[in-house]
Structure 1
Amino acid sequence: MLDAELDAALCALIEQWNVAEKRIKRAEHVRANEIVAPAIFELRYAGRKIVDSIQIILAHDIFQDAEKHAKVSSFIADATEDCVKAKHDAIDAMMNFVTTWFDETEKSIGVEEIQKFFPTT
């Protein structure tokens, strides 16, 4: 336990990290186990900020040093944002794959064949 503000920020970070990991794994499955590098990089950036905040917490009494407390809060907020970016990168990777697949399928079998499966769209 840190304080209510940091505890809430860390809970939000954990939630975003877990969702990002799940989306990255799903994107890798959609893309036949291809690595989704941009999303992985964003989690790496988040990890760096988490480590930086832990270093400050271990080296300073952040409850007696407002500047250090603010820095830890900033690192946690930035890490959470990096996780959000990772989620978006994973979604982008999936959408790119599906769009490319659909475009190639349309070129391969033609619009008329596709419309047999999706007659109202």
Structure 2
Amino acid sequence: MKPLAVATLALTLSTAAFAEGPAFDCSKASSKVEKMICADPTLSSTDSVNADIYKEVVQTADNPNQVKQEQRQWLKTRNACQTVDCIAKAYDTRYNQLQHERLVNSGAVNGDDSIGH
């Protein structure tokens, strides 16, 4: 695993400890994946953390529609998962993407990953 992925996964897991559950209502979970997320405290918290970052990125993006389209595509990927491990990897991948977009939107890194303005 790449060092950045390990660091962001650790951040996700440490931040997830403070989240209470997924960003969606588990009583309305209808798909197998949603039910698996609701049944797993780590996935539930990770869903909440990712949802918070997603909302921030949409609000600060130059092109929020593109971010929304990327999220819809990612949801298709996540929803194709059959195991908890697959779902966890999908969340890790999306977290890294959102974190990168967050850094670009803040000016901390450029779109080509160089640092600064």
Q: Which one has more relative contact order, counting CA pairs under 8 Å at least 6 apart?
A: 1
**Above 0.5 in TM-score?**
no
> Could you state the TM-score of these two structures normalised by the residue count of structure 2?
0.41
Larger radius of gyration: 1
